[in-house]
Structure 1
């Protein structure tokens, strides 16, 4: 949400601070409400509130604020009150106890433009429409049976990646780029029926995910919406939305024409159906009260790319980064994978359930490098009493899942990469343990956890089974730069450049 907004803020903040000097007293007098017991708040400036305190890495800046003021803090972003949640206890209050009150989404300009007026699952406001589209996703697209049906796709694309690395052994490779290609290809085949490779398509996906994490001034200071137009943000967003729409229109027409060539009732082999086929079948059903319009289908597909590509590849990339920095953990994981594989040429999904240390490694990587460090914002739909505080309707909520995963009151040595903490430990990422919520929790938790995790596990298991990884120019693994760059997704700032050699132990 806050990616690359520093340039915009560098333009407007100096002018706003000058203005604020003249109206400070009046503004604070107007906004004070002594009758309400509000959560603690840091000092704020008129007009911009606490915008200037977010910095380039908002998850870290907000962690600093909550360390000083407590795990439940009310900040002001422009004219919008925002509740910052940074502990398991406060997350439980938001995502479980008062989940219904905080189940909606604020209307944000960029996601709204990119998702056909927030017709997708992730950004649509809470209500009957959201319940219908989420039900379709959970029952038809992301059920255990459906996820299992795409096993062959995941295994084939993983083999493709392993083969590419094999051909480049001894050379420097950008492992992050290969992982991104893996997840893109899996999602394309599962959702669209085939891969869509090429510079143009990859560039579109990069711009799409970049914009989803961009900061729009107009969302928080409406009378400064012109800044978004002046900076070109509005134009870039509309351009990407148009390009993606043209691409998806082509995909839909391709599928509709394909359906016309199958047997008379329009139903082909269910095994060969991709997610667009399934959605078109639902659209054609007569006995449903919910009309699946064309834009809804396209918005659902966009969700899969937004949630299923960038976050998944990034999670694997961070896991490999930590393994390179911690040779002991790498050797222990390779030993487990080798013992379970029994000399097979490749790890299959049948093997994954037995790999307890692999699961622990991935959990630890997700804890330290939560793909969405700040879960997608929520918004209260009514006044509510929360932990003794009065929270007004219309208050946005940011859950700092990254900070919660590093809370020293919940985790021993929280900054240390130590997968053993998850062995013989019931803590899981399915939204029931609020000290560990990389996929969120409650009604708005990620419905695609099962699909994402099996891609993560399969890719990581095969990478460490087949190869050893070292940094170029014999640089020690402990020296690997782990600097972050924040958008909607938490990325490595520098590419993960490695030299792969066949693993022979």
Structure 2
């Protein structure tokens, strides 16, 4: 519990001045109420299942966009930018879960979310010297954070107003989306801590930001690792096509049977934790004897999930290798999972601050990966060898690929009209 809170840096205070979501809220009653709301209402297994129709529609759009890319290119077809298509699929799937439909300024909105991640992760003089008025006055990061906050508030109010008008007109899906849930609870007053509009904005930004960037990053790495390891690719494709034999598209009903595909995603999460240092924590009080160290109160604590997932002491001499079979029944790490009880595998964090959106993220990843493997055969452009694929990571709060993933696609299972 001494590490269950979040640091409130000068930059984060500017980014969250109108309200705190669940990701950056300090430990306390406000955070406890929002965490309960996420677990029981917004991101429960039941709620995630209720949103499957939107995910399946966006997965169908994903495979259709691959076909469209192939059809628009002269023969022989040019490579497909898989990174861009995956990013669009994940963004639209998360947006649809949150607001029930596409949003008018989606590209501008997601661009601002991406900018917010960069601002939050950037260096600020005011964060290093928090008591200095001079540092705060001349902090470029703080000014960027204020400007970003104003623009995000404008965009978020537009999203909420657009959603309200659509609901009032009786348009959209019948299912209750996540914004519907928040607005209903705000109206009913079901929380001990009032759910004001600033808090609703912050929660939605958490859902969009955490759900889209990390999920898309993991999916891109999964495809890249499969291209680097053709035997794993063949095994995953054979499983998907066997389970879905005779089907025209991937349904979420089949996902529980795709055991090897799930292992592929587990191994991807181990090697490529989307947020390598997780979100920072703050020590609430002086704590002695943490791995032999005394941690002073107020110290920022970073957990290196990337290094933990590659530690040879836990994972053996092949810790740097992509080998999904390590998680199979009878494998060396068969019982190890990422849900917070096995501390050698913490891509989503652990303890009280573990990511509450695991079920939604996994559903989007499994459906997207299964769809790409079911409908298409994949090759590296120009007959390149697997070991030639660039696997460099970019710098930032998330460990995305440094370069986009371009692949050659061949339709294997015809894609029905969307």
Shared topology, TM-score over 0.5? yes
Distance 1:287 1:403 in 2: 41
SS at match of 2:312: coil
Is 1:432 aligned to 2:336, yes or no?
no
- C-alpha deviation, 1:270, in angstroms: 9.3
Deviations 1:31-88 (A, max 9, x none): xxxxxxxxxxxxxxxxxxxxxxxxxxxxxxxxxxxxxxxxxxxxxxxxxxxxxxxxxx
Deviations 1:261-310 (A, max 9, x none): 67xxxxx9994322111111101114653211110000000001111000
CA contact (8 A) 2:189 2:195 kept: no
- C-alpha deviation, 1:145, in angstroms: 1.0
Gap change, CA 1:475 and 1:371, over 3 Å in 2 = same
Is 1:375 aligned to 2:265, yes or no?
no
Is 1:277 aligned to 2:180, yes or no?
yes
Is 1:213 aligned to 2:114, yes or no?
no
- C-alpha deviation, 1:202, in angstroms: 3.8
Aligned twin of 1:94: none
Distance 2:110 2:191 in 1: 36
Large movers: runs of 4+ above 6 Å: 223-229
Gap change, CA 1:458 and 1:222, over 3 Å in 2 = same
Aligned twin of 2:298: 394
- C-alpha deviation, 1:336, in angstroms: 0.9
Distance 1:227 1:492 in 2: 34
Distance 1:486 1:228 in 2: 26
CA contact (8 A) 1:116 1:299 kept: no
Aligned twin of 1:184: 91
Is 1:495 aligned to 2:404, yes or no?
yes
Is 1:316 aligned to 2:219, yes or no?
yes
Aligned twin of 2:62: 161
SS at match of 2:315: coil
Aligned twin of 1:296: 199
CA contact (8 A) 1:113 1:241 kept: yes
> More deviation in 383-392 or 485-494?
383-392
SS at match of 1:295: helix
SS at match of 1:500: strand
| Structure 1: segments with no counterpart, 5+ residues | 1-99, 263-267
- C-alpha deviation, 1:147, in angstroms: 0.5
Gap change, CA 1:235 and 1:261, over 3 Å in 2 = same
Aligned twin of 2:255: 352
SS at match of 1:272: coil
Within 5 Å, which residues of 2 pair with 1:25-424?
Answer: 100-116=1-17, 119-169=20-70, 170-196=77-103, 199-222=107-130, 232-257=140-165, 271-286=174-189, 288-385=191-288, 386-412=290-316, 413-424=318-329
Gap change, CA 1:415 and 1:225, over 3 Å in 2 = farther
Aligned twin of 1:63: none
Gap change, CA 1:176 and 1:225, over 3 Å in 2 = farther
> More deviation in 389-398 or 450-459?
389-398
- C-alpha deviation, 1:436, in angstroms: 0.6
- C-alpha deviation, 1:370, in angstroms: 0.5
CA contact (8 A) 2:112 2:152 kept: yes
Distance 2:138 2:298 in 1: 28
Distance 1:468 1:236 in 2: 44
Distance 2:13 2:273 in 1: 24
